[in-house]
Structure 1
Amino acid sequence: MPVVTKPKLVLLVSVIVLCAVAWSLLTKHNKMQYPPSSQIKIGVSLTPLSSPFLIAEQLGIFKEMNLDVTLYPCSSGAACTELMIERNVDYATASESVVMFQSFERDDLSLLASFVESDNDLKLLTLVPFKIGGVKDLAGRKVGVVKGTASEFYLDSVLISNNVEKQLIEKVYLQPHELVPALLSYRVEAISAWEPMGFQADLLSVAEVTNLGVKGIYQLSFNLISRSPYLEFVGDEPVRLLQALDMAIEWINSNPDEALKMIASRLDIPHNQVEWSWEDYLFRLSLGNSLLSNLQLQARWAIESDLVSAEPPDFRQVFYSHPYQQLIAQRD
């Protein structure tokens, strides 16, 4: 049996120590790269606007960011927000209109980022037989709207831009699912509606459908929101969630045709229904002054329309910007 000399023993011990240190550093590095998996529930509207979430799920991007995500389908942003408020989900997708109204009622709402925008999602639709050639011809007519939503805000914005007094038209308040049937059955002579109602009206109507609206007068955004108390205890989970959405958006923008097909299949809707509005969607993560200004503008409208009675909230406090800022820093 060979004799281990003292120099050899010292060398052997040194090698063992170095290996131990290297293993420790490697383990620490791996822990930094792969934090504990987060199990999170997200309320997601069943619309192509939610494409970044649906694509991230389909491509396994959430898992790549070590997020165990369950998407809970909702009929609307308002319904998703209610699920979150009731703590049935951790995050929700909602339009800025929903965020605006909820911010009047509660102070624990946090907006992390906007992930899609469209300047042509809302439309003011009528039928050719009504012989309404322009917005001014709506005077004395019945217009179907969804009270206290982007539908009503858009209608009022179009009226203002055309110098038409709101009092000159008769608003008929309906539920979203009632708008298209009301127009096609001639119970109202126009509707202020968001997609896919425009597609549905065009598809189902025997008479030609005309859009009286103005593209660009209203910038719809869909946003990721959560509750402030929840976000305080989840570490870097929101950052990883935004990273996953950012990767999904990059893939969508690089593969628009394939993304369109995946979304149509995932939502189980006709390809041409998704294609109808696909070019109007701008998928990107943002959290800036344009969204802030939009929220402030809608808040003033809600107060002037007697839809709310409180003072407007400070929407800068609603923005939960730290995760988004971290994402931007990592991009650089």
Structure 2
Amino acid sequence: MKHNAAVLVMVMAFVLSGCDRGPEKKDVSREAVIIGIGSQVLSTPILMAHEKGFFAAEGLDVTLKQFTFGKLALEALFAGQVNFATAAETPIVMNSFSRTDYAVVGTFVHNYDDSKILVRTDRGIKTVADLKGKRVGTTLGTSAHFYLDAYLNYYGMLISQVTLLDIPQKDLPDALARGEVDAVSVFEPYGYSTLAQLPEKSARLPKTELLRETFSLVAMKSYLLGHPETVKKILKAVERADAFILSNREQSIRTIAKRLDLDRKFLDTTWDDYRFDLSLDQTLLLTYEDVAQWAIHNRLTEKRQMPDYWNFLYIDGMKSVRPEAVRILR
């Protein structure tokens, strides 16, 4: 009996140990995804989805690769360095003249006051008309570039009436402070840091709402076709992040201030300008067409025909995750 009992104990121990090892053998690995993001407040939903574990909850192991702004993240996508990129309208459109192998998955934020025209008041600039003949710095091929042209046209000027200098956004605050330019067209957070460097010698020209700047999630079409479920998981996580941001303003601001190393005062004063909402709407297509016409008119591209931007949308993911937010007419 003692022998049988000993055997029974050994058998039970083996069975139990096997049960303990079962979960370890189970494949619990998450799918690896790399997202390139612009280090801007516009990237908040992606940052919050990562910070709060919403990507992980969808079974994704997401790595965020930060770039100064969305144009560089998009270039990283084309170079095969990331699976997704966040980008605004202008770089998305500018690349559409030379390639058609990428698509927008969804838009997760928009802002009507992200780009700004800032000037040195000690250079005799008090009105928009005073910009004539002045040196204006911006980053070509970005939303700030498009905004500058639209802004000047709105006030009856042509961009040819200023001396345009191509300067990376992160270098614009220093360029204005050193007097290398007389004015800048800049998007946040570089607008805030520009004014902070020259509090007594700089000012903002009148605010307009000429551009609804968005940040969209972009991927290569080949990746989208091969990973439709991954796209849905990404969108679900971003949707949760948007909802969290709306319900947790203070915590979201603290998180973004830390993740992007931003002045809390800047976020407090600009946070409500951002509208966090996952969508694909008609306004996005109309904005793409406006930017394309601008690029063609100003000969920023050799192409004379505007692409069909319907072909640059991947709507299957949004239709599955948030169909009510897909508001596009063919």
TM-score in terms of structure 1 length = 0.85
**Identical aligned residues as a percent:** 29
Gaps of 5+ in 1: 1-34
Query: Of residues 289, 308, 312 in structure 2, which corresponds to 1:318?
Result: 312
CA drift at 1:206: 4.6
Are the equivalent residues in 1 in contact too, given 2:133–2:162 (CA < 8 A)?
yes
Cα deviation, 1:141-198, whole Å, max 9, x if unaligned, reads 2212222322221111011111113332222232323322221122221111111121
Equivalent in the alignment of 2:21: none
Q: How many aligned residue pairs are there?
A: 298
Mapped to 1, the partners of 2:199 and 2:45 lie a distance apart of 35
Q: Match for 1:78 among 60, 71, 83?
A: 71
- Aligned counterparts of 1:330 and 1:277: Cα–Cα separation in 2: 28
Query: Structure 1 CA distance, aligned partners of 2:135 and 2:75?
Result: 31
2-structure distance, mates of 1:201, 1:240 = 38
Letter in 2 for 1:318: F
Note the alpha carbon deviations across 1:28-85, whole angstroms, 9 max, x for none. xxxxxxx984321111222221111111111111111122211112222122112211
**Letter of the aligned partner of 1:161 in structure 2?**
Y
Alignment of 1:148-227 (within 5 A): 148-227=141-220
**1:237–1:169 distance in 2 versus 1, CA, 3 Å:** same
- SS of the equivalent of 1:232 reads helix
Q: Whole-Å Cα distance in 1 between the matches of residues 151 and 206 of structure 2?
A: 7
Distance 1:86 1:192 in 2: 28
CA distance in 2, matches of 1:329, 1:303: 33
Determine if contact 1:125/1:209 at 8 Å carries over to the other structure. Answer: yes
Q: Quick one: which of 123, 133, 138 aligns to 2:126?
A: 133
Letter in 1 for 2:76: L
**Matches for 1:101-120 after TM superposition, within 5 Å:** 101-120=94-113
Amino acid across the alignment from 2:241: A
Distance 2:160 2:63 in 1: 46
Asked whether the 8 Å contact 2:228–2:317 carries over to 1, the reply is no
CA distance in 2, matches of 1:72, 1:167: 37
Q: Distance in 2 between matches of 1:184 and 1:276?
A: 23
RMSD: 2.0
**2:295 equivalent to 1:302:** yes
After TM superposition, give the deviation of residue 209 of structure 1 in Å. 2.4
Change in 2 beyond 3 A, CA 1:152/1:46:
closer
Q: Which moved more, 1:264-273 or 1:42-51?
A: 264-273
Aligned to 1:6: none
Kindly indicate whether the alpha-carbon contact (under 8 Å) linking 1:129 and 1:207 is maintained by their aligned counterparts in 2. Answer: no
> Map of 1:5-16 to 2, 5 A cutoff?
none
Describe the superposition over 1:124-145 as per-residue Cα deviations: whole angstroms up to 9, x where unpaired.
0012222322111212222122
TM-score, length-scaled by structure 2: 0.85
Amino acid at match of 1:228: K
Amino acid corresponding to residue 317 of structure 1 in structure 2:
N
Structure 1 runs of 4+ aligned residues shifted over 4 Å read none
For residues 330 and 38 of structure 1, what CA distance do their matches in structure 2 show?
28
Give the 3-state SS of the residue equivalent to 2:61 in structure 1: strand
Q: Indicate whether 1:277 and 2:277 are aligned.
A: no
Structure 2 unaligned spans of 5+ = 1-27, 326-330
